[in-house]
Chain A
């Protein structure tokens, strides 16, 4: 008997997407992660604009990842012009990324994932029975936003980041208040560990998975901003690719059912995000999260996409503790009163690769000698992940074919949510690439 299982509009994800599975008796036909978010053509709209305007325009690709889009844009522009930001700027940007990661992971873990594991439709419903857990999640989420406000000027679409540095540096008072809240959070993060460790196991189908992530550079340890190499973990081996050669990792091709292109490395889909980062860069974590992985029962490498939720929780705990170290270091040493380094536009191109909360993000630009944008290419984490999501969905359909439609549908939704997709992000990348 032929039938189709469909999730028309995925809930508790950002943007407009769905899932379609076609079954014919026991054989599985198409398995699709459908993306039907409208197209805004932002890359095309940014073309011709001054470098001064670009990061503000492309930031609007996505609200939850707006720090990542702004700073990846700025990183690409600085590379194109040969601008080298100061170590202090790099440190503050690293901290700003951690703020976004804390906000996004707290939102995802507490508002989207934990309710899934415990069978609640939302964090508000969860709050009725577990008010402390809901309040903890919201306060941590707020802390992430506070970091973004203190460093980036605003929680959504940061305004303080410019090519070469920052418009204004945070005040001592702001940093002291932030440190105090981080101290609370560092203690409270024990409760995050307890909560996540107590969640019922979730495995709906695992398979040997390829992972890709930025390899962190600079002296920031396990981070999301600095670095110019992409690591791909395939068949138990780590391959390194320079950032400028990102296209050899992406190998994008258009697919008819989705407004996002699909990526593959050596013919295989790959996963980006917290689980990929931990798999590739876990050795860089410092001792502040010792033992957490074991408490979560997280064994790497893992081919179970549900483990991305645990990986995010571990990063959440790590980022809180690392941010506290960074803010204490800044307060001890004091901030130098630095203006942005001077920028002299020149013709050229540059590629910035970073880690947005939900995975690797690429911005690649070329400029004319007046500093006007000639071409822009943006590949977002959800686009990198689209093919891998379908792979894991297919695997789950195979492993759970005896389930009722309702149970199977719920499992498929949980897998998509575990990827923490950002559908607005993924869409603008339906585009024809212009030859440089």
Chain B
């Protein structure tokens, strides 16, 4: 039975030793106490002595390699053999019991091959999105990115069987896309800041200039965004996407569901042009002729529940693609409620406060909103 030679612990701080040289060759006769190798520790070069009589046998650890304490570096055999067949590693550490106790061989940290067939990109996405790849793979075989994304998007299903009988009613594609958008937004870390601001002057101005209050609110928001450009940025894994134009998505309540047509360049164009665009968008909303270009790509959102006097204040889900959404309510009161929902990856509370302060100035002196941009 060949006996293993292990890397000895030559000091209590030693984790690894470097094998400097073997002083004997494979097949050489070894007697107990004889030097068989030299080891360099973190402090000095020391000799390794044989604890048994026999013949040095391989496989020998390579010279100049760093070897953890306790690892087998060679064997002492009863007869001269070139190499020990190490089919079953039969507790070699037990045989070598030097003065300093040898710690057990540390387990090798090689993760087992999972047998899960998934692309590297799918695995990376699964890790980021907290999706169980093994589960997906067991159900559908080879897993690619699309399956991970679909699984991440899928909301946990409600437990319908426990309740009363039900029927499934297909919803319009608008509502379906709304559900998707909202679910996708759920991962955004949002905080809210509310301010009570005067709406009276803006109402008077709208009436006098014969423009819609919503349009003026959008204009005031866009100019405030221009003053605080971070509000026009959106978070991406690569960095902030800073947009060169303020496009305001305005939430509109329709029989089919919520939709937010987008008014383009609200800070940079003449109010009359914006009014014409807004009228066109309203028409297309009412006639259900909105095309994707009409409701995609907003950089800021506005939601106004001012026409419902019972609503005191509210906040909204922040759609993806924007850093903030402004929610207006309680328009009947002397001061309306303005709640700003912000993406905390881009903005902080003080940013929101500064934005609302700028907005307050526009609302107090709305005359500036009517003028052409400079």
Q: Do A and B come from one complex?
A: no
